[in-house]
Chain A
Amino acid sequence: MSHAKLTEEFLKNEPKTDWHNETLWWVRSKRDVSSKGIPEWEELRSLASQIKDNVLSNIGNYLQEFEKNALANGVHVHWAEDGKEHNRIVQSIIEKHNAQRIVKSKSILTEECHLNQHLESNGFDVVDTDLGERIVQFAKQPPSHIVLPAIHMKREEVSELFHEHIQTEKGNSDPQYLTEAARNHLREKFLKADIAITGVNFGIAETGGFVVCTNEGNADMGVHLAPVHIACMGIEKLIPKFEHLGVFTRLLARSATGQAITNYTSHFHQPRPDQEMHIILVDNGRTKQLAREKFRNSLKCIRCGACMNTCPIYRRSGGYSYDATVPGPIGSILSPGFDLKKHKSLPFASTLCGSCSDVCPVKINIHEQLYEWRQVIAENGLDDMPKRFSMNIARKVLSSPKVYFTLGKIARKSLSILPKSLINNPLNAWGKQRDLPNPPKESFKEWYKKNRS
């Protein structure tokens, strides 16, 4: 279904849409204040972008360097071509350990690979431990935002879900109370877990280690208690050196939520003596995107979510309207690379205002890439017919002054006599909330001729 169609669903509840819009704008404003707290902010963005340019241009060597160093640290390294292989690797590790209970912290990559569905259908119990992710897991939904997974839900809905799943008091929707209940419920899960799965924020080629950032501490609660840690990492998450963490840790949290740094920035290099540590390097379309020169930059993304919070479309359409693992502006340039046909409406879900590119901490030219995708979609004949038809006519009209002038005359006349149904009809999405304007009596050209010549 197209983005516009799915948005209609979201817009049905107007107060909630307003709340969503305003809340994300508030997060964006916190980012603004926070970024201004660092005088060299713009320089940091450029550095981050250049470091990622270097990574992408040399990623084969960095991957091998990373693997060599991780192996030397006593970490098992696996390579996965796609989501399916990634899921098979995770499953084989779980089976090797005869494990049943799995706790997982936030990882967009595992969402992308549909790991939970895979494991559940094979009889394993997977518990998402990030509060927002646990909420959407109870609701049997995917996250609607990459940093704020349950931002589309109001507290009353969370209260209902918790009442049903972890027996909280009916009608008590106090966030403090609900969070405490989730804490107790998840503490049990942490203590009993056989395997902890995490994502990776940064993989360091030079040292073979990786960094995971959270505020809740859920990744660490899982990993340090369980006998096995599996870290899942997209190959583009690499950075060359340990010192580069300085640049990225200064940018990430400020861009994401406006806080100065996440409360926990955990650096993993070796397993505990009584623990096994695995890292899975996943391609799943990334090398394909790397090959598309115009879209290569999209692989710099550090998943901060700032482009979503600032996007006037995302704020008013909600994460689910994108029908993709990563929603919002960055998702709209990543998803067409996975499946152009399915996601052909996404590059049009933008005003091209450029706000996304302005806030992006790694300076991805998001709005320009959206525009590039539109052209690819048109070249492939995948754009929608009415728009293509009207654009063709527009081209003919605008290229001939004579035709333009004559048609203008007709239009001014007809605007005043045509029935409203011409614009307010079901075939015309633009007319849904709009009316025809009152036409001017004459064109500027006619006016100029009369008054000035």
Chain B
Amino acid sequence: MSSKENILKRISDLDLQPARLPEIPQFEGFDNLIDTITKTLEGSHVKVTSVKGNLIDSIKQEISEYEYVVSAVKGIDSTMNEEDLKSKDSLNKVEAMIINGKVGVAENGAIWVPESNMSQRILPFITLHLFVVIQKESIVSNMHEAYSKISEIPGFGLFVAGPSKTADIEQSLVVGAHGPKRMTVFIV
């Protein structure tokens, strides 16, 4: 018998009675979603910019210091082309990556990004500074609402809630472990 058959047989031999699967109720949300997500993100070392005027201008201003830019947001040009991004060494140079978030969660600051918004899966991680654009209307209260908004499950999808961080040395927090050292969110 294969290992699969052995494992499944041991389980079926127990003849367990299926326990009921609970319904997840609707929980009360936040009154002010934008204030809440802003506070949560700022608490996680994220710079939050509430865009009043032109989004493209705001982004351009923020990324002006960077030479190696990859953008998955319309209106912002990448300084690196497809060919560049095929080699790991040039991926390693990326300083600014700009992406669109699909759903934002007020309670914990997590922003859902499907892989179709990343151009490459590695980019939101390997970049020095991650920029995420999120529309006001796509902010929800909690994770239950967020998951219910994800109608199509992508091959890879990410909830990102801040720059890479660690506290593995004596519990003292260091921002910028392996991935981005900085993260900026534009709320439009």
Contacts and interface: CB of A to CB of B under 8 A. Distances in A.
Interface of A: 23, 26-27, 38-40, 43, 46-47, 50-51, 53-54, 56-60, 63-64, 73, 79-81, 85, 129-132, 135, 148-151, 153-155, 158, 175-176, 178-180, 182-183, 186-187, 190-191, 207, 209, 215-218, 220-221, 224-225, 235, 240, 242-247, 249-250, 257, 259-272, 281, 283, 287-288, 290-291
A318 to B, nearest CB: 15
Interface stretch (B60-68, B69-77, B131-139, B150-158): B150-158
A178 B153 contact: no
The CB with the most chain A CB atoms within 10 A, among B3, B28, B154, is that of B3
Interface in B1-24: 2-4, 6-8, 10-12, 14, 16-22, 24
Nearest to B5: A79
A207 B153 contact: yes
Contacts of A243: 24, 144, 147-148
B149 to A, nearest CB: 11
B171 interface: yes
B22 A51 contact: yes
Interface in B79-115: 88-89, 91-92, 105, 107-110
Given A54-B21, A216-B166, A269-B154, A283 B7 contact: yes
Contact of B109 (A153, A158, A207, A260): A260
Contacts of B144: 243, 246-247
Contacts, number: 238
A242 B147 contact: yes
A129 B11 contact: no
B8 A261 contact: no
29 contacts: A26-B171, A43-B25, A50-B21, A57-B16, A64-B8, A148-B171, A179-B169, A179-B174, A179-B177, A216-B178, A220-B179, A225-B91, A243-B144, A243-B148, A247-B143, A249-B110, A250-B108, A250-B143, A263-B161, A263-B162, A264-B125, A264-B161, A267-B154, A268-B155, A269-B155, A270-B156, A271-B155, A283-B3, A287-B10
Majority SS at the chain A contact face: helix
A50 B153 contact: no
B156 A266 contact: yes
Contacts of A155: 169-170, 172
Could you say which interface size class chain B belongs to? 35 or more
Interface of B: 2-4, 6-8, 10-12, 14, 16-22, 24-25, 27-28, 40, 44, 88-89, 91-92, 105, 107-110, 120-122, 125-126, 142-144, 146-148, 150, 153-172, 174, 176-180
Contacts of B160: 263-264
Majority SS at the chain B contact face: loop
A85 B3 contact: yes
Given A150-B168, A249-B110, 18 more contacts: A50-B21, A58-B19, A79-B2, A79-B3, A80-B3, A131-B166, A149-B168, A154-B170, A191-B88, A215-B164, A218-B177, A220-B125, A246-B147, A247-B144, A264-B179, A265-B161, A272-B156, A287-B11
A395 B12 CA distance: 43
Nearest to B105: A261
A225 B178 CA distance: 13
Contacts of B40: 260
Given A215-B164, A265-B110, A209 B21 contact: no
A225 B156 CA distance: 14
Given A60-B8, A249-B143, A261-B109, A225 B14 contact: no
Contacts of A290: 11, 14, 16
Contacts of A220: 121-122, 125, 158, 179
A246 B29 CA distance: 14
Contact of A225 (B12, B88, B159): B88
Contacts of A150: 168-169
A242 B154 CA distance: 12
A270 B27 CA distance: 32
Contacts of B164: 215-217, 263-264
Q: Which 7 A-B pairs have the closest CB atoms?
A: A217-B179, A270-B155, A260-B108, A132-B168, A224-B122, A216-B177, A246-B144
A114 B56 CA distance: 51
Nearest to B180: A217
Given A80-B3, A267-B153, A175 B174 contact: yes
A153 B168 CA distance: 10
Contacts of B168: 130-132, 135, 148-150, 179
